[in-house]
Amino acid sequence: MSTFEALSDKIAKRQVVCGVVGLGYVGLPLAVEMGKAGLRVVGVEKSQRVVELVQAGGSHIKDVAAKDVSALRRAGLLEATLDMRRLAECDVISICVPTPLGKTKDPDMSFVVTATEAVAEALRPGQLIVLESTTYPGTTREVLLPTFEKQGFTVGEDFFLCFSPERVDPGNARWHTKNTPKVLGGITPGCTQLGKQVYELFIDEVVPVSSPEAAELTKLLENTFRMINIGLVNEMAMICDKLGVSVWEVIDAASTKPFGFMKFTPGPGLGGHCIPLDPHYLAWKMRTLHYKTRMIELAGEINTEMPAFWVGKVADALNDVGKPMRGARVLVIGVAYKKDVDDLRESPALDVLDLLVRKGVKVQYHDPYIPEIVEDGHTPAGAVGRSAPLTDEALRSADAVMIVTDHSSIDYKRVGRLASIVIDTRNANGAPAPARRPEPAVARS
Ligand code: SAJ
């Protein structure tokens, strides 16, 4: 029996031991789904705190119920360890580690490389490795494959290697790890076949593609699509502002088209741990091939411009009532990267706060999900502070109020009633902004 046949047989009998490297917002839900399918799972994690928490039957991930973790712990199906050598026990290893961007928007592959080297140390015939971390096309073949083959094994014969992009949307009540279709592409057809066979034990639908590159690019297309379309509606917001038309009214009207249109909404910029980052993996890779991904670059410029655009609207509004920015009191409502989340990563609100402070504005913010913004090496100096209570006095005494993140828990009608000026970057109030007189045509020289 070949190694392929032996592994396929072990999968069919649900006797495979699964390893998950990284028990974060991708790895822990995946490990729990594997365990729920009756597979024994070894979660390898570098955080002692996370290991101890999972070992105690707890969960640090909102979308993973502690009761599920403790049930799997009691059933002996899930364990967490700091010891990477335990990967030698595993027949299937899913790598779910972060792939952040460096300051110059170059991919930081250090977590993937560390995980790959640990897997290579433990590599033995009969193992299937699946990289899930979002990355540039070619990573699986150019980084992971050579590292594994250096151990003297042959891919597709001794070991098997695939890429399968994570599609975890934290907080999404409808789509989660098990019911979100999972794309998967292997180095060889046999790799893809084994990857599909094992992932189908715990994921409802696995979508095979012909290569890891196709799978890597699938993820990047999904999120680049969003980033570019958000850039488009943000540019439309600036166009409508110049024309004195409500961009919200135009988007709502365009959304009545039952085909060929997909609604995106303008805002203060682009935040989160996926959308602002993922397209830059593609841009970076293509730069090494001397190709400039112009759409990504341009959308990035527009999205990055939005905090300054909206701070400019505050300046205009204060100017209209004869107040300078310097010394003005501005209350920012909502700083998380999107509504109803407690995540500040890449939030454009941080740039908004910093820009306001740099203009001499006395800034306060209120966000029920973000009690404090601390200095963490990425935080702009002007953004550091604590969330202020949203009292009537706070609303009345502000020279202007900016709605930057439209959390559902805020009463925006109350904000509109009590605040003298409201700059609403999300149309949280729901009423299309009143059309202003269009800017005068530029006099022909
Ligand atoms: N944003 C807009 N206008 C929009 C949509 C989003 O300004 O029309 C802004 C948000 O405020 C936020 C940023 O873009 O600052 C990203 O928002 P997002 O809705 O794309 O949310 P994310 O970052 O949580 O994206 C995740 C992604 N999930 C994965 O990569 C697995 C993305 O692919 C999902 O489509 C998205 O969730 C989702 O639909 O919720």
Least confident of 60-74, 301-315, 337-351, 431-445: 431-445
Compute the average pLDDT of residues 90-114: 93
Q: Give the residue, by CA position, lying nearest to ligand 1 atom 26.
A: 169
Tokens coding 12 = 């069919």
What's the CA-to-centroid distance between 338 and ligand 1, angstroms? 8
Q: In the prediction, which pLDDT does 244 show?
A: 96
- 444 has a pLDDT exceeding 90: no
Measure the N-to-C terminal CA separation of the chain; round to a whole number of Å. Answer: 83
Question: 73, 43 in Cβ contact below 8 A?
Answer: no
> Matching CATH topology for 3-210 and 223-424?
yes
Distance CA 300, CA 405 (A): 20
> In angstroms, what CA-CA distances link 277 with 107, 186, 189, 353?
9, 24, 30, 21
Instruction: Report CA torsion sign: 361, 430, 417, 341.
Output: negative
**For ligand 1, what atom is nearest to the CA of residue 273?**
23
- Confidence class of residue 442 from pLDDT cuts 50, 70 and 90? low
Residues marked active site are found at 274
User: So where are the chain's domains?
Assistant: 3-210, 223-424
What's the CA-to-centroid distance between 275 and ligand 1, angstroms? 6
- Of 96, 134, 226, the one to substitute when testing ligand 1's pocket (max ligand atoms within 8 A of C-beta) is 226
Percentage of the residues of the chain whose pLDDT score is greater than 90: 89
**Closest by Cα among 230, 226, 231, 222 to 298:** 231
**Length of the chain (residues):** 445
CB-based pocket (< 6 A), ligand 1: 167-169, 222-223, 226, 230, 264-265, 267, 270-272, 274-275, 337-338
Q: Give the residue, by CA position, lying nearest to ligand 1 atom 31.
A: 167
Residues 6+ apart with CB under 8 A from 194: 4, 7, 8, 11, 128, 160, 162, 186
Q: Give the residue, by CA position, lying nearest to ligand 1 atom 23.
A: 272
- Of 172, 174, 230, 426, the one to substitute when testing ligand 1's pocket (max ligand atoms within 8 A of C-beta) is 230
- Which residue type, as a one-letter code, is found at position 249? E
3-class SS string, 249-281: HHHHHHCCCCCCCCCCCCCCCCCCCCCCCHHHH
Percentage of the residues of the chain whose pLDDT score is greater than 70: 97
**Closest by Cα among 44, 58, 51 to 90:** 44
**For ligand 1, what atom is nearest to the CA of residue 265?**
8
- Of 177, 251, 338, 344, the one to substitute when testing ligand 1's pocket (max ligand atoms within 8 A of C-beta) is 338
Q: Give the residue, by CA position, lying nearest to ligand 1 atom 39.
A: 169
- Confidence class of residue 48 from pLDDT cuts 50, 70 and 90? very high
Q: Give the residue, by CA position, lying nearest to ligand 1 atom 7.
A: 267
Q: In the prediction, which pLDDT does 171 show?
A: 82
**Phi/psi at 193 (nearest 5 deg)?**
-65, -45
- 439 has a pLDDT exceeding 90: no
Q: In the prediction, which pLDDT does 429 show?
A: 86
What's the CA-to-centroid distance between 150 and ligand 1, angstroms? 39
Furthest CA-CA distance within the chain: 84
Q: Give the residue, by CA position, lying nearest to ligand 1 atom 3.
A: 265
User: How far is C-alpha 247 from the geometric centre of its chain's CA atoms?
Assistant: 26
What's the CA-to-centroid distance between 223 and ligand 1, angstroms? 8
- DSSP label at 40? E
What's the CA-to-centroid distance between 108 and ligand 1, angstroms? 22
What is the per-residue burial (b if ≥16 Cβ within 10 Å, else e) of 142-164? Answer: ebbbebbbeeebebbebbbbbbb
- Of 96, 132, 164, 169, the one to substitute when testing ligand 1's pocket (max ligand atoms within 8 A of C-beta) is 169
- 98 has a pLDDT exceeding 60: yes
What's the CA-to-centroid distance between 314 and ligand 1, angstroms? 25
- 432 has a pLDDT exceeding 80: no
pLDDT in tens, 149-197: 999 999 999 999 999 999 998 888 899 999 999 999 999 999 999 999 9
Q: Give the residue, by CA position, lying nearest to ligand 1 atom 9.
A: 270
Q: In the prediction, which pLDDT does 84 show?
A: 96
**Which residues in 67-211 belong to E strands, given as ranges?**
78-81, 92-95, 127-131, 159-163, 182-186, 206-209
- 16 has a pLDDT exceeding 80: yes
pLDDT in tens, 406-421: 999 999 999 999 999 9
Compute the average pLDDT of residues 352-359: 96
- Confidence class of residue 335 from pLDDT cuts 50, 70 and 90? very high
**Which residues in 167-273 belong to E strands, given as ranges?**
182-186, 206-209
pLDDT in tens, 245-281: 999 999 999 999 999 999 999 999 999 988 888 999 9
Q: In the prediction, which pLDDT does 170 show?
A: 83
CATH node for 3-210? 3.40.50.720
Q: Which CATH architecture has domain 223-424?
A: 3-Layer(aba) Sandwich (3.40)
pLDDT in tens, 370-427: 999 998 877 887 788 999 999 999 999 999 999 999 999 999 999 999 999 999 999 9
pLDDT in tens, 340-352: 998 999 999 999 9
Compute the average pLDDT of residues 204-230: 98
Q: In the prediction, which pLDDT does 140 show?
A: 98
Compute the average pLDDT of residues 95-101: 94
Q: Tell me what the pLDDT averaged over the chain comes to.
A: 95
DSSP strand pairing (329-333 vs 400-403) = parallel
Residues 6+ apart with CB under 8 A from 225: none
Distance CA 380, CA 105 (A): 17
